[in-house]
Structure 1
Amino acid sequence: MSDLLKLTIREVLALYADRKLSPLEYWLAVEDRIAAFESHVQALYLYDPESARAQASASTERWARGATLGVLDGIPVTIKELIATKGQPVPLGTAAVELVPAAEDAPAAARLREDGAVIFAKTTCPDYGMLSSGLSSFHPLSRNPWDLSQNPGGSSAGASAAAAASFGPLHIGTDIGGSIRLPAGWTGLFGLKPSQGRIPVDPYYVGRCAGPMTRTVEDSAIAMATLTRPDWRDATSLPPNDFNWLDLNMDVKGLRIGLMMEAGIGLGVDPEVYDAVTAAARRFEKAGAIVMPVQPVLTRDMLDGLDNFWRARFWGDIEKMPEERRKLILPYIYQWAEGGTYISGAEAVRGFNQTIEMRKACAKLFSEVDAVISPTNPIVSYPAEWASPTNDPSRPFEHIGFTVPWNMSEQPAASINCGFARSGMPIGLQIVGPRFGDLFVLQLSRAFEQWSGGIHAWPEPGAAS
């Protein structure tokens, strides 16, 4: 049964079609893996194996009748807790929120359900999705399957832990400053933050995207056909796709690729990360791409302005909350948010305006290059119990220098594994494309995956403690 866990979505679907495997049989293999590994990684929220068995059984009947609902029919999927699912609470990762059932599915959940995916759990996140960590005041501490003493990153912490632990092939996260790519980098996954509006989200706010987290590029590409169907609830939602998400072949010869090895601010790049990313750049050069060093797009004024805007916005969200509930927020997050009380309206607006400066800087860079590659994360890993790589609420965003600009510029960006540190922890390569170039990013990522061979040996229960 454990061999089934190594299969890609394409391979699973082919077995379904040939009547060599049923969705129920495949789900039971995933269920066994969860039973063996979940108590260690603590990735899941509202895990419901009984419902999953019923969904998988219904899918098995549909496959037998030749009446499948969509391309993901019978594929086990998790959804990040911040993405609403009808009838289930959305605690936003914090003990401060009252548990009120959601009135309807958010767009990503609705699309997956329409296509017959087996939604078996939500995945954990930190308070309000405001940390690159598996630490939460509501959920148990999520851990990195590669080494349980280390952090899976966040805020899509449970999604990354579940995917790396082989709890099925597809996991949906969200990203406003790196929350898909950062944990993907720290857990060896492929994680895609698409162009703004490519995958509709609700609620929408500046920079927020949903995206797939998978073990292979193709698995994410398959999911994009489902996830990208438009939804009126997201006013940034893009028109229906007029291209084939599985058109992944690309010749990189002649492409101008910028190599960004400094973020401009924040944590410096670990030597092992530097070596792995520069080695990845040489692979692009060997394939005929023109790789050129480029300067950072982010400045201290930009990051501090964004920090001010986010603090003010978040404090505005919670200031009317009863004090006894506010005190339940993770202290790290609450201490950070309290800084918003000292930020004037004018300062908050000036902070927001720095997102425009990020957009301009990114646009200028992409007038000179076709793509950008960089580290995803500046450091290899950090302790599971820490709230962030600095563990300092006065310096909360020192690790997002490579990732956050592309949220504000609305450009697609992905993280893909490019090697391992001596500690055995994965290292992520970020690949960034022009606005609306989501398929282009997938193509570049698939090319690199083919050159590198990808990851074939994922963590096993009992081997990561």
Structure 2
Amino acid sequence: MQLADLTATELLAKYRDGSVSPVEVIEDVLTRVSSFEPQLCALYALDPDGARAAAHESERRWRDGTAGALDGVPVTVKENIATRGTPVPQGTAATALIPAAEDAPAAARLRAAGAVIFSKTTMPEYGMLSSGVSTFHRLTRNPWDLSKTAGGSSAGAAAAAAAGYGPIHVGTDIGGSIRLPAGWCGLVGLKPTHGRIAVGNPYAGRAIGPLTRTAPDAALALSVMSGYDPRDHTSLPVPSDDFEVQVAGLRVALLLDAGVGLPVDPEVTAAVSAAVDVLAAGGAIVEPIGPIITREMLDGLDRFWRIRSATDIAALPEERRAKVLPQIRSWVSTAADLTAADVFHGYSQMGAMAAAVGQVFTTYDVILSPVAPITAFPAELAYPTDDPAKPFEHIGFTVPYNMSHHPATTANVGWSTSGLPIGAQLAVPHHQDLQALALAGYLDDHRAETRPWPSIR
């Protein structure tokens, strides 16, 4: 196994015993990037010289005995998470490129722990797509099949993780933007409890979390990024949950029908059902449940986000407004038809979703479902429906937990007949983020089939 493919926990053990240096690791990662990146297009603002300098500093700290919790571990950060000195284009050519004045809370915590942030990663237009389609970045593709999307909006983070650009990649999620790409790229992707990781620029449903190849690496990244930050009034102190799993007696709600959106592919249903069998064999009590959200809830959310995006775009100068992706312009073009009552009702549906999820957790410990109803769709499409009027038909399983603030993570539970990863989602009560990751690790440990990570040629 090459150094670029080692997990963070493996790297830290090797740094500790002196068998491997952070300098060697970053060179291997940069070699991987130079080989894969022309086709994958996962990175933004790659900084090889800065990465090498940081790796040398980490090597010194390991010699001096002053290494941090992630010292020398290569990390990428999604481009909408500010890093000092780098513009934040938000995936669109319509944004003025102004260098960020300081690191966002998550990036600052990673640096303080010694992580080597060697690049930012790509995202689609304003983060409003579950694909890599962008007027600013090149089209990001899925390492498992370059004709398919890596998902979005944490497109580059997922592609980089699956391709082995080091072990830890950080994304954001407001409706599924960590979990969807993680599911389509065979990764563990955690949307944590709202506030566990300070966002810095909070907004309803927005969360920051890791995308990794293993659950222990996701737990390690979460532990470093967690905690209160005065720049984010929604951020919380670190809770005392543990990375542990007790499957016997676990009450699992099995949700195979989101109730809205695209029909679930039979291959997805089969893979998630196999994961259910693993938990049941371990002593979990599994019961099927009906849909949690309704058409009214999803359509209301659509209306609210549409007016919000339309307002942001309308504030741009005309020459920049014209640069916005046509599909986004088409989506917001109907915002003027919405009344104040429509928008208020749409806003209220976020609370309705939260209440619906909370009701399920009065009876169950875990909600297990597909991450998405389909496997990865063609990379060139902005939406799996290819219809700007129907942009949210694939997020019925993921978006409820953004609105309810519950943690939800992904686990790879199989592959389609065409070789694309299929993900299951594990949602748990508030502040049980590490237990969710432990369950993802349990499913990974008991998976019937494993496959090597993709190699791009």
CA distance in 2, matches of 1:107, 1:409: 23
Tell me what 1:203 maps to: 201
Aligned-pair distance for 1:248?
Answer: 2.9
Decide whether the 8 Å contact of 1:274 with 1:375 is kept in 2: yes
Tell me what 1:164 maps to: 162
Tell me what 1:72 maps to: 70
SS at match of 1:83: coil
Aligned-pair distance for 1:455?
Answer: 4.7
State the Cα deviation string for residues 144-186 of structure 1 (Å, max 9, x = none): 0000000000000000000001000000000000000000000
Equivalent residue for 2:288, pick from 288, 293, 301: 293
CA distance in 1, matches of 2:163, 2:378: 18
Q: TM-score, normalization: structure 1?
A: 0.97
Aligned-pair distance for 1:250?
Answer: 1.8
Aligned 1:359-370 pairs, distance under 5 A:
359-370=354-365
Equivalent residue for 1:153, pick from 122, 141, 151: 151
SS at match of 2:93: coil
CA distance in 2, matches of 1:237, 1:443: 23
Tell me what 1:263 maps to: 258
The residue identity in structure 1 corresponding to 2:4 is L
State the Cα deviation string for residues 227-263 of structure 1 (Å, max 9, x = none): 10221111111113334xxx43322111110000001
CA distance in 2, matches of 1:443, 1:143: 29
Aligned 1:49-60 pairs, distance under 5 A:
49-60=48-59
CA distance in 1, matches of 2:41, 2:79: 13
SS at match of 1:452: coil
Tell me what 2:238 maps to: 240
The residue identity in structure 1 corresponding to 2:441 is R
Aligned-pair distance for 1:344?
Answer: 2.2
CA distance in 1, matches of 2:220, 2:346: 38
SS at match of 2:27: helix
Tell me what 2:29 maps to: 30
Whether 1:405 and 2:378 are equivalent positions in the alignment is no
Residues 111 and 126 of structure 1, relative CA distance in 2, 3 Å threshold: same
SS at match of 2:111: helix
CA distance in 2, matches of 1:455, 1:400: 27
SS at match of 1:14: helix
Decide whether the 8 Å contact of 2:244 with 2:435 is kept in 1: no
Tell me what 1:40 maps to: 39
Whether 1:62 and 2:61 are equivalent positions in the alignment is yes
SS at match of 2:253: strand
Equivalent residue for 1:435, pick from 418, 430, 433: 430
Aligned 1:96-115 pairs, distance under 5 A:
96-115=94-113
Aligned-pair distance for 1:456?
Answer: 5.4
SS at match of 2:333: helix
Unmatched tracts of structure 1, length 5 or more: none
Decide whether the 8 Å contact of 1:249 with 1:447 is kept in 2: no
Tell me what 2:133 maps to: 135
State the Cα deviation string for residues 331-353 of structure 1 (Å, max 9, x = none): 11111122222222221111000
Tell me what 1:373 maps to: 368
CA distance in 2, matches of 1:334, 1:200: 31
CA distance in 1, matches of 2:238, 2:415: 38
Decide whether the 8 Å contact of 2:76 with 2:157 is kept in 1: yes
Tell me what 1:312 maps to: 307
Decide whether the 8 Å contact of 2:371 with 2:397 is kept in 1: yes
Unmatched tracts of structure 2, length 5 or more: none
Aligned-pair distance for 1:321?
Answer: 1.0
The residue identity in structure 1 corresponding to 2:334 is G
Q: TM-score, normalization: structure 2?
A: 0.98
Identity of aligned residues (%): 53
Equivalent residue for 2:319, pick from 324, 332, 353: 324
CA distance in 2, matches of 1:334, 1:202: 27
CA distance in 2, matches of 1:250, 1:226: 21
RMSD: 1.1
Tell me what 1:119 maps to: 117
Aligned-pair distance for 1:114?
Answer: 0.9
Decide whether the 8 Å contact of 2:105 with 2:198 is kept in 1: yes
Tell me what 1:219 maps to: 217
The residue identity in structure 2 corresponding to 1:178 is G
- Stretches of 4+ aligned residues off by more than 4 angstroms: 453-456
CA distance in 1, matches of 2:39, 2:314: 36
Aligned-pair distance for 1:323?
Answer: 1.5
CA distance in 2, matches of 1:165, 1:263: 30
State the Cα deviation string for residues 92-141 of structure 1 (Å, max 9, x = none): 00000000011111111111111111001110001110000011010000
CA distance in 1, matches of 2:450, 2:137: 29
Residues 321 and 113 of structure 1, relative CA distance in 2, 3 Å threshold: same
CA distance in 1, matches of 2:359, 2:411: 25
How many residues matched?
Answer: 457
State the Cα deviation string for residues 329-378 of structure 1 (Å, max 9, x = none): 11111111222222222211110000111011111111111110000010
Q: Which moved more, 1:338-347 or 1:5-14?
A: 338-347
State the Cα deviation string for residues 368-412 of structure 1 (Å, max 9, x = none): 111100000100121010001111100000000000001000000
Tell me what 1:253 maps to: 248
SS at match of 1:143: coil
Decide whether the 8 Å contact of 1:228 with 1:241 is kept in 2: no
Residues 362 and 393 of structure 1, relative CA distance in 2, 3 Å threshold: same
SS at match of 1:195: coil
CA distance in 2, matches of 1:397, 1:288: 36
SS at match of 2:118: strand
The residue identity in structure 1 corresponding to 2:361 is F
CA distance in 2, matches of 1:220, 1:10: 10
The residue identity in structure 2 corresponding to 1:46 is A
Tell me what 1:420 maps to: 415
Decide whether the 8 Å contact of 2:250 with 2:285 is kept in 1: yes
State the Cα deviation string for residues 274-307 of structure 1 (Å, max 9, x = none): 1000111011111000000011111110000000
Equivalent residue for 2:332, pick from 309, 319, 337: 337
Decide whether the 8 Å contact of 2:6 with 2:166 is kept in 1: no
CA distance in 2, matches of 1:455, 1:21: 27
CA distance in 1, matches of 2:129, 2:5: 30
SS at match of 1:419: strand
CA distance in 1, matches of 2:147, 2:141: 7
Whether 1:449 and 2:444 are equivalent positions in the alignment is yes
Decide whether the 8 Å contact of 1:390 with 1:396 is kept in 2: yes
